[in-house]
Amino acid sequence: MKLNCTVRQASSNVDAKHYDTQRLRKEYLVENVMVEDEINMVYSMFDRIIAGGAVPKDEDLLLSAPEILRADYFTQRREIGIINVGGPGTVVVGEDRYHLDYKEALYVGRGDRHVTFCSDSPGSPARFYFCSACAHRPTGVKKVTKEDAVVMHLGSLEESNERTINRLLVKEVVPCCQLQMGMTELAPGSTWNTMPAHTHDRRMEVYFYFEVPEDGAVCHFMGEPQETRHIWMHNEQAVISPQWSIHSACATRNYTFIWGMCGENDDYNDMDWCATKDLR
């Protein structure tokens, strides 16, 4: 097995407005999230979030602690949120096994035990997307399905943003420390997410786009409301959104994305809205 961990430094909103396309992609885009028989992750200095993917095709994958953590176990000082976007699989946490089907989630709290990713079949391997944040207390382990989620239906087909927000790993569902994760599913005919746009100074966020056709693309918008930029993305890619940045997108057709955030608080509704007419 192979484990890759790349460290990304935090960047200034003052500097980011001068980045060209190549620099924007280097700082914020995570291209190779899902690679068979590998664990790939990015450690961002924005609130020290980790975002990554594990695809255990021909072998089980142990989530060992990368050097940047200086820890004996990955979860020694961290919590993890895991969502399966592939075939059926199992996450082993210590001595316990948790089976996850497509779009099912698992919350793993802080603790000294190993975490291992497994697939039911190499012909249809699981594809585990995960985010991790620093945790100040142990909070246990809990499997979460869409039936357990706090569900919000927003937008309309007329506005091209009819969508269902599944708040899977939030304080109303699991006893998380600072990590929050969920999954937004756009209805057929809708392409815009998170409009009107917003920022939240007390939290940063990572988006992971999937269910994007091979010949399709997502145009992700970021930057300060008066200094927006865009990054073209494809299926199973992630993007880092600093606390000073909006995070919104439009695509060639409907899609699904996972959002993961952490920071100062766990209040999902703590947002500063940006009127669409004021965006530049």
**Do 49 and 204 touch, CB atoms closer than 8 A?**
yes
Phi, then psi, of 110 in degrees rounded to 5: -60, 140
Ranges under pLDDT 70 in the chain: none
Q: How far is CA 147 from CA 88, 103, 140, 183, in A?
A: 18, 11, 20, 13
The pLDDT assigned to 91 comes to: 98
The pLDDT assigned to 267 comes to: 84
The pLDDT assigned to 137 comes to: 96
Distance CA 108, CA 116 (A): 12
Phi, then psi, of 215 in degrees rounded to 5: -95, 10
Distance CA 260, CA 209 (A): 12
**Do 194 and 248 touch, CB atoms closer than 8 A?**
yes
Residue 229 amino acid letter:
R
pTM score of the predicted model? 0.97
Distance CA 237, CA 277 (A): 29
- Please give the distance of CA 206 from its chain centroid, rounded to a whole number: 5
For residue 21, give every residue at least 6 positions away whose Cβ sits within 8 Å of its Cβ, in sequence order, or none.
Answer: none
The pLDDT assigned to 265 comes to: 86
Residue in 207, 196, 223 with CA at minimum distance from that of residue 255: 207
Q: Specify the residue for token string 């001068």.
A: 18
For residue 58, give every residue at least 6 positions away whose Cβ sits within 8 Å of its Cβ, in sequence order, or none.
Answer: 36, 37, 122
